[in-house]
């Protein structure tokens, strides 16, 4: 079974602050994190969440394929770019956010990144990640940049993971 990642981002155009969250499921393990920043862009928040989700992946032999489900259009606009990565910088690529693209490209080495978009739905992890992304946006607005792991007790309550034989 490929590694599964659900990711969401939230952005306020008024305050120029944003948040992101992800849940990662692979090899019977579940994890997740949320974060946020001020003076940012919607695309940057989506990429920050993806970069965090791809950090510290299991070795390629045990998890070669990565299926990413996102709730927003920002990553979907980059779908062909992400699908073409194999540890090499894209030939036509991002002019911005190079600090976020570097770990994404590194994590993609030897892997197939598949990306799809899903609605925010309480029956799958997208509602969970969307809520945490909004929390990240609001916390960044009041407190500044941060990254925090999502507590295991919260992760254990995600609907839709029972179909993946984790709970």
Does the model's pTM come out above 0.85?
yes
Per-residue pLDDT of 116-134, as tens digits, reads 999 999 999 999 999 999 9
Domains and their CATH numbers in the chain = 3-164 (3.30.420.10)
End-to-end CA distance of the chain: 16
Instruction: Report the Cα 46 to chain-centroid distance in Å.
Output: 7
Per-residue pLDDT of 72-121, as tens digits, reads 999 998 888 887 776 555 555 566 888 998 899 888 888 888 899 999 99
For every residue of 56-73, DSSP letters joined together read: TPPPTTT--EEEEEESSH
Name the DSSP class of 150.
P
SS3 140: helix
């Amino acid at each position: 079974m490929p590694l599964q990642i659900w990711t969401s981002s939230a952005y306020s155009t008024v305050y120029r602050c944003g948040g992101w969250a992800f849940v990662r499921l692979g090899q019977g393990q579940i994890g997740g994190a949320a974060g946020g920043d001020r003076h940012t862009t919607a695309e940057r928040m989506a990429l920050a969440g993806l970069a965090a989700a791809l950090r510290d992946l299991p070795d390629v032999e045990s998890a070669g394929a990565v299926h990413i489900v996102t709730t927003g259009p920002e990553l979907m606009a980059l779908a062909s770019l992400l699908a073409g990565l194999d540890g090499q910088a894209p030939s036509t690529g991002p002019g911005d956010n190079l600090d976020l693209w570097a770990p994404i490209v590194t994590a993609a080495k030897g892997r197939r990144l598949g990306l799809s978009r899903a609605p925010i739905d309480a029956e799958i992890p997208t509602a969970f990640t969307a809520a945490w992304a909004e929390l990240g946006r609001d916390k960044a607005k009041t407190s500044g940049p941060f990254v925090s792991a999502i507590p295991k007790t919260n992760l254990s309550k995600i609907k839709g993971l029972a179909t993946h034989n984790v709970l």
